[in-house]
Amino acid sequence: MGMYPTPDGPGLDRLARELGDIRRQLRDLQTPSGTNIGNVAAQVQTLVARVNATLLNIDAAVQTSISANSMTTAQINAKVASPGNIAPGTVTASSAVSGTTGTFPTGVSSTGVYSKLLTYGGAYNAQYVHVDGTMGYVPSSRRYKQDIMPATLDPHLLNALQLVTFRYIAAVDNLGDDAVTELGLIAEDVDALGLSWLVDYDTDGKPNGVKYERLALLMIPWAQSIEARLSALER
């Protein structure tokens, strides 16, 4: 058996010794040799290197994903300060929302504006909408005006205004016969009388609306003319 010689002996002793030698050889074969241990160690080192490389690749991929899909604290703070366009388009707040300015291209509405009473005291102003969409009020104090001169209005212009009844086309399209009949003026007719200061014009310069709140200004020269005629009759 090579390096495991078997001594001679009578009977079964010799066979027993040979079986013992074979058992020792098998046990030695099952025990890793130095070469085998070296191979296993090399394989383990290779595996460890592959695992480390894989972990590095995973870490790099995670860092890349974080950079691509996350924001820094500074970016988050900037978004909070100025969020810009918010998705979804409808945002609901459980309390008051405040800010410096806001733009609403499709309009502004309030479900409680007609139930909000302003009779709790203090001043209140009529609100207007500028042609650029900005809402605010227009003061009448001398502090905001220049080139002030007395104005002359023909009191007969008030008699020239023609009141009409009408129904809005959109209201009829929406409500049919239930559309309300309105009372008012026609912007083109008011413009034709030269009362441009009573007319709202669209972006093409065409008469678009009537500034009904300014009609009260025509009442002043009309009332003054009546007062002058009455005074003349009393003399």
pLDDT digit string (tens) for the chain, length 235 residues:
445 454 555 555 665 666 666 666 656 655 655 556 666 667 777 777 777 777 777 777 777 877 777 777 888 888 777 776 666 666 677 777 777 777 777 888 888 888 888 888 888 888 888 888 888 889 899 999 999 999 888 888 888 999 999 999 999 999 999 999 999 999 999 999 999 999 999 989 999 999 999 998 888 888 888 888 888 888 7
At 59, is the secondary structure helix, strand, or coil?
helix
Give me the half-sphere count of Cα atoms (radius 13 Å) on the Cβ side of residue 190: 24
Nearest Cα to Cα of residue 2 among 15, 20, 21, 16: 21
Non-local CB neighbours of 57 within 8 Å, separated by 6+ positions: none
pTM listed for this prediction: 0.56
Both structure tokens of 184: 């008012």
Q: Is residue 127 part of a domain?
A: no
Residue at token pair 């099952």: 30
6 belongs to a structural domain: no
User: Tell me, what CATH number does 187's domain have?
Assistant: 1.10.10.10
End residue of a domain, out of 21, 39, 69: 69
3-class DSSP state of 166: strand
Return d(Cα 72, Cα 41) in angstroms, integer. Answer: 45
Domain hosting residue 181, numbered range: 157-234
Is residue 78 domain-resident? Answer: no
Encoded tokens for 179:
């559309």
77 lies in a domain?
no
